[in-house]
Structure 1
């Protein structure tokens, strides 16, 4: 017992030395904690923070959003060129902005926030570039962002002159902390500030009667603002801007800083959906950020709760932890059989442009778009995927439709990688965690080798030895080379090789195998008979002291047509050692003979 305590003390001291800035929790286990949960309270000052329920009123009790389904995509509004751009260490220049804009148009976005023209000359110049270059399609609306100041509004209105359709996006922070600390104004004063700015925007727009201009308002930090105050402000602007069903206003309700679980945001959105005045004249929009890592969930639940429009960025770029990711949102719908209304048929092309324009990489594990999201290294996953792909191809053939049109149900792959321009090459990759199913899948897919089930564990063991030793993954080409060196090469390069051989059926059902063997550099002639060429070969080998039994055999062609090679696999017991060999030749008989000879040489008993 004393030794055990001493050992624990040593381990604890060692951990403290390795991680000197961390403090292992030492508080008392809560009295009501079950025995299976021995976690202890940490010393981190959690008491400094309040829950969302203590910070903002949450009046909705009879929520209905949990029982709804999303059956149609909302209007997606990318803000990469404004909100995303503001978050970059190196904001985009006009060339990068234009490339991003062209990508968004090509993908099918119909409303695009292109900048904050009163905040920088670059943004102003880009909006003018769009107006002067005739770059905006007839059905695309350009959104521009402005704070509630007359001089900034003037600059914003000047930037959009000549654009066919625009949305002027006015914002002001409305949450108590922002009112008190940042603006230094009361609720009434903030409302007056917003209404004055909205009135000025309306007046400036009315000076352009031929322009197609609509309005958007964002009560920044909506999710921490009193619901009655948000309603008061939004309803007053709906009336001021004379919203109608054919000329609706956008009320955009941002989770500017995530502060609660997504269900809380959904409750807030449903409350607004129910209580906004002239609801048919309002487009209810959301703009979640990702501070808690739940931006996607917030947006999805908000759509269930009544949101009709979602602002976000491709791959989730944005301030701090980013804006909600429109790629994930849209493809989540796609995976549920809902048309996303946006094209992602070449997701790598999309990612390439985003990485170029943002000068930020997309994480390899990022949903749908990362390099590794369709890749399985785990043996269990690889086996399931390989079987699923085989079943999918078979099912498509039975239905008489191309595989890319057949219903998709492959384990571990929510969508067909081919639908977003990915190949199946990266789906299964081989490292020390890989299993026999994935290895067999790669050999079959890329090299037309269909390893017998009984042979797969043997080769898997060989692969694992290599990957464990190197710590690296194997490409399908390296995998084939390892197979060749392990199972094919020994037939022609080992202690026992065939110098020459022939076989003939001497009488019906009886075959004779005649050969000259080179054994450890010395040639020996031998002959054997059997009920087939391979059994006759086994008998010939016994004549020179090599006892062999052929336990299993399989063969198949590599391709179709005359002259196509065949591969043969033989499981043999040589003396008391069981091993596999393989042969490759345009002659099936030659391939089978080589498979047996490879097994003999791999056994390590041939020379004895």
Structure 2
């Protein structure tokens, strides 16, 4: 994995945590079989790392990690672990059959977590982090360390911890915004500072794991990438604890669409984003909101008349991505009360009716009245309106 990053410093590693951080959130639990189904889709999507679960959390989670890692081919498979030898051994056992495996150790570093959760001093946290990474390296070549609640950690102490675990053998350093507290400018400064501090470890990769409590997970992740992060930790549809994780589909398409700005790329097959989103929605029985970026039903749908007129002239007027690039069949021009005469005439023509003169005017007036009553006008409803208009006013011929 790190060879890939070394060969191409502009390649961003996509670490998918749909099956761990995503699945552990209320309402998104999956059976082992459902996890296997989703893992196959993630592998087909081209993610680099699949965090399959938290092996020490329960026998069921260990079994899920074991089966996903043993039955799916392609990505690196990863298990989460506390900074405890028992957790590390449990993860090692669950990942035995994976040809490419990673351990992901987390330990809180912020003052509030040290006092309220760990009841440990800063020195004790530092010592425990180094000890856990050192032990993990006796079992794993690929070890990621996460400083839980990194953003609320004192910058100097955070940098000290990251430098120490890198020296102990951590290959990926994750700087998570565990509670979704940061802002793009702040997180960018933090990543830039850590990058300078660990510069003497050239093989180490910085990773961003951002939660969405203030609605800035994607923006914060992109800021981290701009500051040097070369791994993003994401989940399909943005599922995860509380308000969720950074959405895989959003950050991947932002990096692709604004390649001019970021200058980086991923290995994700973006044409499979919609199918992965819909599969997860079905497996978790959790519908995707219509206006969800990239994969929502309205992401490439247009109803406003002026938008439809522009789209009919050149799709680039209102679409910054091609719908086919993320897995949709194409743009959808929705006929409703906001639609204009031009779009209605074009759809009528596509259905085989070329309207002119009074017939078109009459259709437009009746269309608006009917749209106010029922909302979206489908093809069957439009044909009925066309036939009524042409019966009274003529002015129609075969398109």
Is 1:360 matched with 2:286?
Answer: yes
Q: In 2 relative to 1, CA 306–346 (structure 1 residues): closer, same or farther, beyond 3 Å? A: closer
Measure the CA separation in 2 of the matches of 1:412 and 1:72: 29
Q: In 2 relative to 1, CA 473–130 (structure 1 residues): closer, same or farther, beyond 3 Å? A: closer
Is 1:324 matched with 2:246?
Answer: yes
Q: Which residue of 2 aligns with 1:582?
A: 395
Counterparts of 1:304-319 in structure 2 under 5 Å? 304-319=226-241
Measure the CA separation in 2 of the matches of 1:339 and 1:148: 32
Measure the CA separation in 2 of the matches of 1:236 and 1:168: 17
Q: Which residue of 1 aligns with 2:85?
A: 150
Q: In 2 relative to 1, CA 187–261 (structure 1 residues): closer, same or farther, beyond 3 Å? A: same
Q: Indicate which of 82, 85, 96 corresponds to 2:20.
A: 82
Is 1:479 matched with 2:385?
Answer: no
Measure the CA separation in 2 of the matches of 1:156 and 1:419: 37
What secondary structure is seen at the aligned counterpart in 2 of 1:145?
strand
Give yes or no for contact 2:354–2:398 (8 Å, CA) kept in 1.
Answer: no
Return 5+ residue gaps in structure 1 as ranges.
Answer: 1-70, 206-211, 244-248, 390-409, 491-579, 587-608
Q: Which residue of 2 aligns with 1:595?
A: none
Give yes or no for contact 1:429–1:438 (8 Å, CA) kept in 2.
Answer: no
Measure the CA separation in 1 of the matches of 2:362 and 2:95: 69
Q: Which residue of 1 aligns with 2:73?
A: 136
Q: In 2 relative to 1, CA 341–454 (structure 1 residues): closer, same or farther, beyond 3 Å? A: farther
Q: What is the CA-CA distance between 1:449 and the residue it aligns to?
A: 4.0
Counterparts of 1:510-525 in structure 2 under 5 Å? none
Q: Indicate which of 92, 99, 105 corresponds to 2:37.
A: 99
Q: Indicate which of 130, 147, 154 corresponds to 1:226.
A: 154
What secondary structure is seen at the aligned counterpart in 1 of 2:175?
strand
Give yes or no for contact 1:73–1:330 (8 Å, CA) kept in 2.
Answer: no
Give yes or no for contact 1:313–1:326 (8 Å, CA) kept in 2.
Answer: yes
Measure the CA separation in 2 of the matches of 1:78 and 1:91: 16
Aligned length: 387
Q: What is the CA-CA distance between 1:450 and the residue it aligns to?
A: 4.6
CA-based RMSD of the aligned residues comes to 2.3
Q: Which residue of 1 aligns with 2:64?
A: 126
Is 1:215 matched with 2:143?
Answer: yes
Measure the CA separation in 1 of the matches of 2:141 and 2:337: 60
Report which of the two has the higher share of helix: 2
Q: What is the CA-CA distance between 1:437 and the residue it aligns to?
A: 2.5
Give yes or no for contact 1:383–1:436 (8 Å, CA) kept in 2.
Answer: no
Return 5+ residue gaps in structure 2 as ranges.
Answer: 1-8
Counterparts of 1:539-578 in structure 2 under 5 Å? none
What secondary structure is seen at the aligned counterpart in 1 of 2:86?
helix
Post-superposition CA distance 1:357-412 (Å, at most 9, x none): 333111111011011121122222122212225xxxxxxxxxxxxxxxxxxxx222
Q: Which residue of 1 aligns with 2:5?
A: none
Q: Indicate which of 333, 354, 361 corresponds to 1:428.
A: 333
TM-score between both structures, scaled by the size of structure 2: 0.90
Q: Which residue of 2 aligns with 1:275?
A: 197
Measure the CA separation in 2 of the matches of 1:263 and 1:79: 25
Give yes or no for contact 1:235–1:276 (8 Å, CA) kept in 2.
Answer: yes
Q: In 2 relative to 1, CA 132–287 (structure 1 residues): closer, same or farther, beyond 3 Å? A: closer
Q: In 2 relative to 1, CA 73–477 (structure 1 residues): closer, same or farther, beyond 3 Å? A: farther
What secondary structure is seen at the aligned counterpart in 2 of 1:164?
coil
TM-score between both structures, scaled by the size of structure 1: 0.60
Give yes or no for contact 1:286–1:307 (8 Å, CA) kept in 2.
Answer: yes
Q: What is the CA-CA distance between 1:181 and the residue it aligns to?
A: 1.1
What secondary structure is seen at the aligned counterpart in 1 of 2:145?
strand
Measure the CA separation in 2 of the matches of 1:332 and 1:110: 18
What secondary structure is seen at the aligned counterpart in 2 of 1:113?
strand
Q: What is the CA-CA distance between 1:288 and the residue it aligns to?
A: 0.7
Q: Which residue of 2 aligns with 1:438?
A: 343
Q: Indicate which of 101, 111, 117 corresponds to 1:182.
A: 117
Q: What is the CA-CA distance between 1:213 and the residue it aligns to?
A: 2.9
Measure the CA separation in 2 of the matches of 1:437 and 1:313: 40
Which of the two has higher C-alpha Rg?
1
